[in-house]
Amino acid sequence: MDYLSAFAISAAGMRVEKMRLDVTALNLANMNSTRGADGQLYQPLRVVASAATSFDGHFSQAAQLQAMLPQGQIEPLDVAPRKVHDPGHPAADAAGDVEMPAINHLGEMLNMATALRAYEANVVAMNAAKTMALRALEIGGGA
């Protein structure tokens, strides 16, 4: 077994899950924002994980491994803003409603917990591969 492949797969999984945690934190931080400096309402973001595939992946073992590794892309969600009735808010319209990003707090917390558990699972897999590699070296060393 090629241990470097196991390490690369776990590292790619950890990279995607860290990206998911970062995006969740960004969504939660902007949950109660109105308009940014550019005048636009914050759009909630999501990480979409997919395997990278390319024609080059068929010519070398390293490229085949790279084609199997998960890749994460950040995409904005196309959702309508939520309206909060707050006539005293500086950004309120004539009816007293303020547009806020449509971020579901409970859903974001669930995303965070799921990403954290997936990250931990990738760490466990990497540690298991490391332990197997060390045991193989001990067996082969004849000590």
> Are the beta carbons of 102 and 82 closer than 8 angstroms?
yes
In the DSSP assignment, the letter for residue 62 is H
- Measured from the Cβ of residue 30, the count of other Cβ atoms closer than 10 Å reads 18
Pairwise CA distance, residues 70 & 3, whole Å: 18
Given a contact cutoff of 8 angstroms between Cβ atoms, the answer to whether 42 and 101 are in contact is yes
Whether the Cβ atoms of residue 16 and residue 47 lie closer than 8 Å to each other: yes
d(CA 123, CA 142): 29
26 pLDDT exceeds 50? yes
Q: Select from 43, 26, 110, 27 the least CA-distant residue to 80.
A: 43
Residue 46 · residue 75 · CB < 8 Å: yes
Q: What is residue 28's predicted lDDT score, i.e. its pLDDT?
A: 96
CA-based nearest residue to 43, from 76, 85, 9, 89: 76
Closest CA to 100 of 27, 22, 19: 27
> The tokens of 6 are what?
């196991």
Q: What pTM was computed for the model?
A: 0.79
**pLDDT tens digit sequence for 57-114:** 445 555 555 556 667 889 999 999 999 999 999 889 999 999 999 999 999 999 999 9
Predicted pLDDT of residue 57: 47
What pLDDT, in 10s, does the model give residues 33-60? Answer: 988 888 899 999 999 987 755 545 445 5
**End-to-end C-alpha distance for the chain, whole angstroms:** 22
Domain positions in the chain: 3-31+45-78+103-141
Section 16-26 average pLDDT: 95
